[in-house]
Amino acid sequence: MSANFLDLPRELRDLVYELCLLHPVPIVPWFQQELTSGLLRANKTAHREASPLFYSQNRFDFTWTGPEEIASFLRTIGRNNDYIQHVCVDFPHFHYREPGDVTLSDGGISIFESIQSSCANLSTLTAFAYSTYSMELRLEEPDNPEIVTEVLMLVDTRFRAISSLKKIIVCVYDDDPSSSFIREMKNRGWTINETEYGEEWDTDRYDDHLGDNDYD
């Protein structure tokens, strides 16, 4: 008599789902499509039972591609969007011409609009800034010290438009960012994680700087 996975108690099936579908580092959907194959496609019952776990407990890395691919992925997974709780994105790029004339890039706006409209239960957003020092150079305005506040307020407004968010984490290189710049970010209620300058932000960056406590 052949064994049937669905004949196992639900507790054991859930343990199998956890062992097979949970990953210690964020999933890059465009590079790791095979992670969702097999078990989630075994049958309708397994898909229904395992999908909430897969999409709610894993983190999804949206830093490797553009807004069109992100929007396509969110459309493809359909109602599973509602389970997603953790995503990683690039810190929004901005255009600064003069005081009072700061805008976010169209691509960044599109990405956040897709996340806002699709991920109704998103809890934690992690944004990676390439270098706070280079950002400060772009924002250097001796006659208008409020420019940093203006830019960060614009970014924060985009973050806060995702009303379900409980935690915003911004990861920066520790290349001697000014205390005032870091203080401005923290005043927004963001959690700031710093990486020593020169370290590569490969998959190890998540283990080093996005520990379990960051997602409590």
Whether residue 107 lies inside any domain: the answer is: yes
Does residue 172 have a pLDDT over 90? Answer: no
CA 74 – CA 8 distance, rounded (Å): 32
Do residues 107 and 83 make contact, with C-beta atoms less than 8 angstroms apart? no
Q: Which residues contact 54 (CB under 8 A, 6 or more apart)?
A: 17, 21, 22, 36, 40, 83
Whether residue 32 lies inside any domain: the answer is: no
Whether residue 98 lies inside any domain: the answer is: yes
Which single residue is written with the structure tokens 């806060």?
160
Q: What is residue 61's DSSP assignment?
A: E
pLDDT of 65 reads: 87
Q: What Cα–Cα distance (Å) separates residue 4 from each residue in 13, 48, 187? A: 11, 17, 55
pLDDT of 144 reads: 57
Q: Tens of pLDDT along 13-59?
A: 999 999 989 989 899 987 755 555 577 777 889 889 999 999 999 99
pTM (whole model) above 0.85:
no
Q: Which helix (H) or strand (E) holds 122?
A: none
Average pLDDT over residues 197-210: 47
Helix axes 67-77, 106-118, angle to 10 degrees: 10
Q: Tens of pLDDT along 50-100?
A: 999 999 999 999 998 899 999 999 999 999 999 999 999 999 888 776 667
Whether residue 2 lies inside any domain: the answer is: no
* Strand, helix or coil for residue 137: helix
Q: What Cα–Cα distance (Å) separates residue 191 from each residue in 40, 118, 177? A: 34, 24, 15
Domain that holds residue 207: 59-215
Does residue 166 have a pLDDT over 70? Answer: yes
pLDDT of 184 reads: 87
Residue 205 structure tokens? 């960056």
Q: Tens of pLDDT along 97-151?
A: 666 778 888 999 999 999 999 999 999 999 998 655 566 666 655 455 677 788 8
Whether residue 63 lies inside any domain: the answer is: yes
Whether residue 64 lies inside any domain: the answer is: yes
Q: Which helix (H) or strand (E) holds 60?
A: strand 59-61
Whether residue 201 lies inside any domain: the answer is: yes
Looking at the structure of the chain, the number of domains it has is 1
Whether residue 129 lies inside any domain: the answer is: yes
